[in-house]
Each structure stands twice: as structure tokens, then as C-alpha cells.
A and B are shown apart, each in its own frame.
Chain A
Amino acid sequence: MAKRTLATLAAVAVLAAVVLVVRMRGPVTLPPLPPPPRLAQPVAGSDSPRVEDFVGAERCGGCHAAEYARWQRSTHGRAGGPPTSGLLIALLNGSEIHFKDAVVTPSLTPSGAYVFAVRQEDRPAQVYRVDGVVGGGHMRGGGTQGFVTRYPDGTLRFLPFEFIRREGVWFCNTNSRANRGWVPITRDLALADCGDWPPVRVLGDVPRFANCQGCHGSQISVAFDPRARAYQTRLTSLAVNCESCHGPGRRHVALALSGRIDSAADIGMAALATLDKDRSLGVCYQCHALKDQLAPGYLPGKRFDGHYALNFPQLGDRPLFPDGRVRTFAYQETQRASDCYLNGGMKCTDCHDPHSQGYRDVFGTRLAGRLSDGQCVGCHASKLEPVGGRGGAHTHHRPDSPGSRCVACHMPYLQEPEIGRTVRYARSDHTVAIPRPAFDDSLGIGNACGQCHGERTAAALDAQVRAWWGGGGELKPHPAAVAGILRGELLQPDARHPVAQFAGLAEFLGSRLAPDMPSLDRDVESRLQRLAADGDLDVRALALACLHLARGNDASVRRFLARALRDLSPAEDDALRRRWVIALGSVADAYRARGEPDQAIVAYRKALEVSPGAPRVHLNLGLAYADAGRYAEAVDEYRRSLEADAAQPLVRVNWGLALAAQGDTAGALAQLRLALEIDPREPLAYFNLATLLLVGGGGRPAEAVSLYREAVAIDPSLAPAHFNLARAYVLVGDLRAAAAALRRGLEFDSGNPSARAALDGIERELLRGH
């Protein structure tokens, strides 16, 4: 799903020189925040696993045959792999998939490879080999299957054509382009309406690209290798294997082979059955959670909260309502907002057998399936008791009816809103909510009762619910934090409800705070300080960021902030600072997006106080300076960013743009060429080189044509490159090529009026020429 934090996309147009006056403060001496401690060298072993420490499920099966057999039959065991007839649910048999402007043919070649051949008029066919299959259509609410192909830059990328089992159709995700959700592929749909065309969704966690993090496979490691000048992608399996949960097995296997394992207390593996609630949930949240990446390189066995933050997606796209239910898109991490978690002991494994993914009750008794009441009544045996003197049931439904199942009312399948309504992709509500039809309706959530009783209004259903379950018309109240936020009281310290507390804080940060405010209401400051001491790391970091942003100009607040960093272990310090920086960065990003670079600059500078030298913060600060027309300062920030991490081609690109804006064309060209030395497949370097040669270098359209063609060959969705290529073609007198380039650009930016007008003009010229 959409990534938000510290966006790094480079500007692709020549920057306008706008001079903004940054508010100058008086010379106030403020106590500095303590510098981050040096992180201890990681200890070799399970604390710092490497890809080669993972042995694969087959090795596990050698000793743990029963568990291995159950896993092989499970949805984790069948989650993906090489394309084989046993795994494929889509027919890759030569049946064509028709778009408005393309025909895609999935087939098996004589050499035994599965491929997708993409044919479009006036351009050569493109053939993508299927190097892996992801998904098996297992999920009850809408199971899909996708395909990955190895790209020339070393990444594995999803093809945009996916198959959904229930409807038995091909579909694509249009959200990042046509914005119609997931839609079946028909002759009304253009190929470029698919947001993932050309393939841009990368397997593994690369902030530059849309990605699926590391979850559609096992031990996926992808990183740019400056020496190879390409990405290196490594993985153990496209299934979700034993070590995804148990951690790396190399040492465990070595101990077993040595014959010493029966005399060892340390067997190279943790006993997952002994984990407490939150650590057990953390194993599952490695994948079953929307999350923001804090640091690259996560592998099972590493410290999860040092790499990911579960609440931070709420800062940007606000995927959840304050009660934890899904506003746009989420996974089963919404369980953290359930009463079963907040006031109970519920872990994923209380209902889901981790080896088979079958169902069981909290005491381990196997259950028939996903509808079994045993999932709930193991803890809530009271709900089996007759109600009142009437001998009725808690459900108020006939015992053998679907409406009498616990999950029918408390865990209804709800369509993920971001998907749209065309393709069914519903997931069971893991907040285990109480049906509140009127309230649910006010949020736009399909209420559980309405799934069977769709003919009745929400108001009527609400009245029935209150009549049956409300003591005196009163339903069980929302948790205090949720109720407070619904009343507009966004800051909820001491609430022990991190999902709601974070949602409230995020709303408060976005709507009520600004950099260096003259004052804060005393109660607000007090609440923020209490939230800054919360047990939840995300909540704590966000509250600190709020105080820092709004009152970081106040000496007493700075002392408070410094105290918050005291007495932390290096790992805790690092995890807290990374969150804090992302929070400030998100505020700064928002200011940039709103065209307020001076405010953005203040927020980025605060982020650098927390994490001095952070390369992406320096890059974004440089971009903000460039937005403000302060190009010299922008260049200084780009330089600092590269000092911290030299392998950033986009920093070189933006450095080049800053020099170009100051009239230093030669310097700009040099920086753009340095970008290509880092990554010879950086399309924005080609694009900006071409643009400089076209408009800034005395007019060299022939060279520009060549460079633009490189740019669009690497990224065909780069519409401005197509448009500028057309301009270059016009200058060299090739109107037909210009028209073709405009058409291709318009496929990805169909609403661009200048390009549309230019194409009309060129086509008229071509007609006159005939």
C-alpha cells in the first residue's frame, strides 16, 4: 500500500526561482538534544541473522516431519513458489487477456517457461517470464494470485495482471493511476490504467518503489549494490516457510547434526509457545500488519520494532478509524484494537494453528473451521448461557442459523474500501467489534446485521440491537480513548489503547500544531508529556515529535525532550529516534506538498536534531530549500546527504537541478552524469540530462532524443519524458515520431492539456502534409 514517509521523488521540472523569507528567531540559547549513542556492534548469531542463516523448510522437515507435513498443506506452505501446475490457479494456456489497447497472452513456451507476452499496436512485443507465483487464491474473502518477473535492474517485480479465484477473472489495481480500485480487465480498460504498469511493484522493501515489503515470500532481501550498480534480490522461498516465524535455522541444524542438541539449553531457536502476548503477536505482525519501514534489512530474528512501526501508517493515509476498523486498507493487525486484546489475552495462535492454519480454541482443541463458535466461547463461555428467563440465546437467532455464529456478528467480512466494489476482497474484522448499526453506518462501514438483513435500515437494525443487547437501551460503551476521540478530545494519555491514542495524536499533529508555536495550552502540553511517557513506542515517539515541533523553541520543553532520551539502551534509543524523525518528516512533507517550504525547512531541521546526518532527511531538507529557491543551501544539504550515503542517484539528480536553476549548466550536467555512475538505470538522470541539452545547453535536440529514449525505455510511465521527447523530435523535424511520443505520454497522463493540444497540432500538420 501507499508509502508516505520522507518521500524522496525528485523534481522533474525546471525549478522556478521563488525567494521566500524564512522567519528569523532571536539568538535564544537552547539546550541541545543528546546525540544518539553509538550502536553496539551486532553480535553474530540469532540477533543479527543473514540470509545465509536460513536453511529452508525442507531441512526442517527432515526432523519435524509431522509439522512439516501440516505446513505443506497450509496456506503458508502453498503461498507461492515457482510456477508449477500444482500452484497455478490462473490458466496460462494461451488464452488472451484483452485490454482496450493491448493483448496479453499468458502461455507456456516449448522450453517450459511460463511467460506473459504483451502486444500493443506500433511497438514491439514485450515478453515477461514468470519467475514466481505469489498467492494461491486461498483467502475466503477474495483470494488472488500474482506473478513476479526478474527485472534488468535486479529486482523481482509483480506483473500488473493478477487473477482472482472467486470471480475467475484477471484484474489489475488502478489506484495509483485511473483510481478506480481493483477492476477486472476488459476491453474498456487501457493497459496504462493499471497502476502497476509498467511493472513497478517490487518484491521486498525498497522505498523507491511501490512494494509488498517482505511478506509475499520468505527472507526476502533486496538492496541496491553500488558495486554491481544494480539491486540484489535474495530470498529463500516464495512460500511462507518455517523460519519466517521461528527465525534462522542454521545454528539449530548444526546443533542437531552435531548430536549435542539434546544436551543444550540453547538450541538456536526460541520456543514460540512460551512467548507472551505481544511477542507472540509480533511474530504474526511481521506480515499480517500494515506498517512503516524504519530501517532496511529486516529478517526474522531481528528486532522487529527497530525496523517497523505498526501505527505510523496512520500519520499519512489514515488507514484506520480511531476504533481500529479499516478506513482504507489494513490487515489483521486491527486485532490490537479489539477488546479481546486490550482487556484479554488474545493472540493470533489462540484461534489459528500456526502450522496448519486450521482453527482451534484457546486451549488448543481443534475446531471444524472458520465459523466455529469455539474460537470465541473458549474465553466467552458465558455467551452459551441462556438469556433471562426466556431460555433464549445470546445470539437471539436460531441456533442452527448463520446469524447465530459468533463471527457472523463480531467478525463480519468487510470489503477493503481501497479495493473498490468491483472485485470482492473482504477480510474478517479482527477488531471483533460489537455491531452498532447506526454508528457503523455513520463511518461508512457495512454493519454486520445488514449483511443478512440488507432490506432493513441501519436505524431499524440499531433499534433491534439495542432492544436485544442494550441494558436500558445502552450498548457496551466504546473504550474510553475511542469515546474521547469521537468527542473531539484527541489526546488520550493513560488510556492503554495505542491504536486510538496514536490516531488521536496523528489527528492533533496534523490539525492543531505548527512549528515553534508561541505557546501551548497547559493541559495540552501536560497531556502530550504524559503521552510521551507511554509504554507504546509509537505513541511515545509521536508525542515527543509533537512537543518538539510545536514547542521545541522552549528551553523547558527541550529539557523534557532530552530527558526522554536518557537511560535508553542503544537499540531503544535508535527505535525511538527513527519514529520521531519519521513523524517530523511527515509533517515537513505535508508542508512541502502544501507549498510551504519555510515551514517544511523548520520541521526537517528539527528531525536532524534528533538524527543528525540522516541522509534522507538531508535530501528532503535540500528539496525544501530548492522549493524555496535557496539553491545554495539545497546543494549543501545534498552534499551532506551523500556524505552519509553515497549510493543515492536521486540526490545527484536534485543537486544537478539546483545547479541548473542557478545557471550552472556544466555543473548540473556533471552531477547528472555522476547519478548515472551510481545507477546506470536512473531514468530521471537521463530525463534531466536530456532536458538540459534541449533547453539549457544551447539546443542539442538530437542528443536529447537519444537520452529521452533511454529514460522512457527504463520507465515507460514517465510521461514528461515522452512529452519532452516529442518536443525534441519536432526540433529535429520528425513529426511522426513526435506524435507517437505524445500518444505514449498521454497513456499515462491523459489529462495533460498541453500535450493533448500539441498532439492535435502535430496531427493536423501531418494531415496537411499528406
Chain B
Amino acid sequence: MLCACAVAAGAGAQTALSPFARAKARALIRDHLPCLGCHALEGEGARLAPDLSQPGMAFSAAFVDSMVRDPEGTRPGTMMPRTPMPRETADLVVSYLVGSRVTPAPHAQPHAPSGGRGAPTLYAHFCAACHGARGKGDGPNAKFLPVPPAVHADSAAMSARSNDRLYDAISGGGAVLGRSNRMPAFSLTLTRAEIRALVRYIRALCRCRGPAWSRDDRADLR
């Protein structure tokens, strides 16, 4: 599982995290970050990705560090998006996951999304596990989520949401919009054109448009 690609120098394990720091990291992971949308932690969360409950797990500290900060650069093709967060938060999360306080080494520039992927591909890769292959909210991961994922095929529900709202949810994730924090942000993983394409794709799934007041043609959508 170790990545062969060029990642930053490994994080050097130093001292054990205090119980308080561990509790803080757990609270951030559980209630503020999207991690448990895919991973499990102490029995809570989803099963799409490795369980985070085992500090160190089967991975090196360097790999965990790199994966948190630059998933696509570390494992090309991964479905794990790069989550925007303050550096201190990333440091704490990595330290928690590897079981000890790490001093992060300088990192290379994270991988930038290259774009060019079609909406059906993107939807199948990033969305379908929760929202279902046809947008019915019935992806295999849905049962592990505390808030049911949006049913993109629901015309009535989706008609109440503007295109901008859909775009912002994909870009910024659920937490910033007051929805589930398990929905990750894709602003660092997808290009703007790809997000626009996904909004169009969702409109195709619901066969609907947003409210009339919202139609200033932004993502109606080239």
C-alpha cells in the first residue's frame, strides 16, 4: 500500500499526544471534518476506506502525513479528496492518526487537479458511493452516514436548490453549508469546470431546474 510517488520527507515521530489533544483530534475528525464519510473511527463512520481507529495502522507516518495533505499526489486515482483545513488542524489530525506528535517535514506543492474528466466518470468515482449510481441516495455507503445523502434524482427536492447551492456544496463540502460534515469539499480536488459539469449532471439526474429566482444562468451551465 505504500506509495511510490514523490511525497515529502516522512514526518518524524516525536512524543505521544496528550489525552486532551487526542480527544480534540477525535472531535475534529468526528464532528467537523469529512473523514468519517469514508473511514471508521472507534466503530463510527463509514467503511469505504481504512479504519482510523488503529494508530499507525498499516501505514507509515510519512504515508499518513502525505495522504492527509495530498491524497491524489500520494495515491493517484484515489477517491479521497484533499480537504482544506488549517495547517495546525492537519498537524493534529496526522499526529493523532500516527499515534504520536509529528513535526511535519516540508511538503512539495500538493497535486493540483488537472481536469478533463467527464461528469459521469466523476460522479461514479466521487459521488455514487453515497448518492447512488443514479442519484437515488442509495449508494452502498449511505447506510453508514448519520444524515442521509441528498437524493439527486428527487425532482421536487432538487428544484428547491439553486445551481449555486449545488456548486457550493460540491466545492465547499457539507459543513460550511450547515449540512453534514461527512460530505467533503472538492474545491482542491476538482477543477471549476468539473464542478460545473457535475452540477449539470445532477440537473440531468433530477430532470429539473433550480428556483426561478436563482436562474442567472451561471451554471446552466456551459
A474–B212 alpha-carbon span in the complex (Å):
7
Kindly specify which of A386-394, A588-596, A634-642, A683-691 makes contact with the partner chain: A386-394
Determine which residue in A274, A277, A365, A469 has the highest number of CB atoms from chain B within 10 A of its CB, and name it. A274
In the assembled complex, which residues on chain B have CB atoms less than 8 Å from the CB atom of A364?
85-89
Is A388's CB under 8 angstroms from B217's CB?
yes
A384 contact set on B, CB distance < 8 A: 192
Q: Are B19 and A382 in contact (CB under 8 A)?
A: no
CB-contacts of A53-84 with B (<8 A): none
Please tell me if the beta carbons of A343 and B177 are within 8 angstroms of each other in the complex.
Answer: yes
Task: Say yes or no for A514: interface residue by CB 8 A criterion.
Answer: no
Contacts of B177 in A (CB 8 A): 343-345, 379
Q: Is the CB of A271 within 8 A of B27?
A: yes
In the bound complex, residues from chain B placing their C-beta under 8 Å from that of A258 are none
Separation in Å of the B216 CB from the closest CB of chain A?
6
- CB < 8 Å neighbour of A362 from B27, B176, B215: B176
Are B211 and A379 in contact (CB-based, < 8 A)? Answer: no
Would A472 and B32 count as touching, CB distance under 8 A? no
Residue among B18, B179, B195, B212 making CB contact with A471, cutoff 8 Å: B212
Residues of A contacting B85 with CB < 8 Å? 363-364
Query: Chain A: which residue is nearest B181 at the CB level?
Result: A345
Q: Are B218 and A394 in contact (CB under 8 A)?
A: yes
CB pair A381 B31 closer than 8 Å: no
A525 to B90, CA, bound (A): 52
- Does the CB pair B176–A382 fall under 8 Å? no
Q: Is the CB of B212 within 8 A of A472?
A: yes
B10 at the interface (CB under 8 A from A): no
Among A172-180, A261-269, A410-418, A563-571, the stretch in contact with B: A261-269
**A-contacting 9-mer, from B51-59, B122-130, B145-153, B167-175:** B167-175
- A252-292 interface bits toward B, Cβ cutoff 8 Å, 1 = contact, 0 = none: 00000000011111110001011011000000000000000
Q: Which of B174-222 contact A (CB under 8 A)?
A: 175-179, 185, 187, 192, 195-196, 211-220, 222
A276 to B167, CA, bound (A): 24
Among candidates B24, B187, B217, residue contacting A274 with C-beta atoms closer than 8 Å? B24
CB <8 Å contact, A264 and B163: no
Which among A263, A363, A474 has the highest number of chain B CB atoms within 10 Å? A363
Q: How many Å lie between the Cα of A381 and that of B195 in the bound state?
A: 10
Cβ–Cβ < 8 Å partners of A386 in chain B: 218
Q: Indicate if B44 sits at the interface (CB-CB under 8 A).
A: no
B31 touches A274 (CB 8 A): yes
Contact with B along A580-601 (1 / 0, CB 8 A): 0000000000000000000000
B23 at the interface (CB under 8 A from A): yes
**Please, which residue of chain A has its CB at the minimum distance from the CB of B30?**
A274
Is the CB–CB distance between A474 and B218 below 8 Å?
Answer: no
Q: Indicate whether B84 reaches chain A with its CB closer than 8 angstroms.
A: yes
B28 contacts A by Cβ under 8 Å? yes
Partner of A271, one of B24, B165, B167, B175: B24
Q: A274-B28, A345-B175, A362-B172 are in contact. Are A380 and B18 (CB under 8 A)?
A: no
Please name all residues of chain B whose beta carbon is closer than 8 Å to the beta carbon of A394 when the two chains form the complex: 216, 218
Give the docked Cα–Cα distance between A266 and B24 (Å): 11
Question: A761 at the A/B interface (Cβ < 8 Å)?
Answer: no
Interface members, chain B 1-28 (any A CB < 8 Å): 18-20, 22-24, 27-28
Nearest-CB residue, chain A, relative to B22: A265
What is the bound-complex CA distance between A383 and B216, given in angstroms? 11
B154: A residues at CB distance < 8 A: none
Q: Is A45 interfacial (CB-CB < 8 Å)?
A: no
The reply to whether B19 and A265 form a contact with Cβ atoms under 8 Å apart is: yes
Instruction: Give A340-360 as 1s and 0s: 1 = Cβ < 8 Å from B's Cβ atoms.
Output: 000111100010000000000
Give the interface SS of chain B, mostly helix, strand, loop or mixed: helix
The residue in chain B whose Cβ has the minimal distance to the Cβ of A475 is B213
Which residues of A are found within 8 Å of B18, using beta-carbon distances? Answer: 261-264, 267
Cβ contacts under 8 Å, B165 to chain A: 382
Candidates A273, A346, A380, A381; contact of B28 at CB < 8 Å = A273
Partner of B168, one of A379, A470, A474, A476: A379
User: Which of the residues B86, B212, B216 comes within 8 Å of A387, measured between beta carbons?
Assistant: B216
- Give the CA-CA distance A468 to B187 in the complex, in Å: 27
In the bound complex, how far is the Cα of B24 from the Cα of A282, in angstroms?
19
Is A471 a contact of B218 with CB atoms below 8 Å?
no
Any A CB within 8 A of the CB of B138: no
Known: A345-B175, A364-B86, A471-B212. A387 touches B218 (CB 8 A): yes
Q: Does A378 contact B (CB under 8 A)?
A: yes
B24/A382 in contact, CB under 8 A = no
Q: Is A518 an interface residue (CB 8 A)?
A: no
Bound-state CA distance A471–B211 (Å) is 8
User: Is the CB–CB distance between B213 and A470 below 8 Å?
Assistant: yes
Smallest Cβ distance from A559 to chain B, in angstroms?
Answer: 36
- A381 lies within 8 A of B168 (CB): yes
From residue B63, how far is it (CB to closest CB) to chain A in Å?
A: 24
Determine if A382 and B218 form an interchain contact, defined as CB atoms under 8 angstroms apart: yes
Question: Once the chains bind, are A385 and B212 in contact (CB under 8 Å)?
Answer: no
Contact with A along B80-101 (1 / 0, CB 8 A): 0000111111000000000000
Assess whether A379 is in contact with B172, with CB atoms less than 8 Å apart.
Answer: yes
Q: Which of A451-489 contact B (CB under 8 A)?
A: 468-472, 474-477
For B219, the chain A residues whose CB sits under 8 A away are 382, 385
With A277-B178, A345-B177 as known contacts, state yes or no: A265 contacts B20, CB within 8 Å.
yes
In the complex the two chains form, is B217's CB within 8 Å of A389's CB? yes
Closest partner residue, chain A, to B222 (CB atom): A389
For the complex, what is the distance from the CA of A541 to the CA of B145, rounded to whole Å? Answer: 35
CB distance from B144 to the nearest CB of A (A): 21
Q: How far is the CB of A37 from chain B (nearest CB, A)?
A: 32
Residue of B nearest to A434 (CB): B213
CB A173 to nearest CB in B, in angstroms, measures 38
Q: Which of A271, A381, A474 has the most CB of B within 10 A?
A: A381
How far is A471 from B215 in the complex, measured between Cα atoms in Å? 5
Most buried by A among B88, B196, B213: B213
Q: Which residues of A contact B171 (CB under 8 A)?
A: 381-382
Contact of A343 (CB < 8 Å), options: B86, B178, B187:
B178
In the complex the two chains form, what is the Cα distance from A364 to B171 in whole Å?
Answer: 16
CB-CB contacts below 8 Å: B127-168 with A = 163-165, 167-168
Decide: A379 and B176 in contact? CB cutoff 8 A.
yes
> How far in angstroms is the closest Cβ of chain B from A279?
11
Residues of A within 8 A of B28 (CB): 273-274
**Contact of B19 with A264 in the complex, beta carbons under 8 Å:** yes
A263 touches B19 (CB 8 A): yes
B217 touches A387 (CB 8 A): yes
Query: In the complex, what's the smallest C-beta–C-beta distance from B159 to chain A, in angstroms?
Result: 13
Considering the chains assembled together, what is the distance between the CA atoms of A472 and B212 in angstroms? 7
**Is B176 within 8 A of A344, CB to CB?**
yes
Cβ A381 vs Cβ B167 within 8 A: yes
Q: Which residues of the other chain, A, contact B167 by a CB distance below 8 angstroms?
A: 381-382, 385
Contact of A380 with B168 in the complex, beta carbons under 8 Å: yes
A387→B167 CA distance, assembly (Å): 14
In the complex, which residues of chain B have a beta carbon less than 8 angstroms from the beta carbon of A265? 19-20, 22-23
Bound complex: CA A88 to CA B87 (Å): 37
Q: Closest approach, in angstroms, between the C-beta of B188 and any C-beta of chain A?
A: 9
Q: Which residues of A contact B215 (CB under 8 A)?
A: 471-472
Residues of B within 8 A of A363 (CB): 84-86, 185
B213–A274 touching, CB < 8 Å: no
Chain B residue, CB-CB nearest to A266:
B20
Contact in complex: A276, B168 (CB < 8 Å): no
Complex A-B: 19 CB contacts under 8 Å? A265-B19, A267-B18, A271-B24, A273-B28, A344-B176, A344-B178, A345-B175, A364-B85, A365-B84, A379-B168, A380-B168, A381-B187, A381-B195, A382-B163, A382-B168, A385-B192, A388-B218, A388-B220, A471-B216
- Nearest 10 Cβ contacts at the A-B interface: A364-B86, A388-B217, A265-B19, A382-B167, A382-B164, A363-B84, A274-B27, A381-B171, A471-B215, A345-B178
Which residues of B pack against A, CB within 8 Å? 18-20, 22-24, 27-28, 31-32, 84-89, 163-165, 167-168, 171-172, 175-179, 185, 187, 192, 195-196, 211-220, 222
User: Other CB < 8 Å A-B pairs besides A263-B19, A266-B20, 8 of them?
Assistant: A271-B27, A276-B31, A346-B176, A362-B176, A382-B163, A385-B196, A471-B214, A472-B213
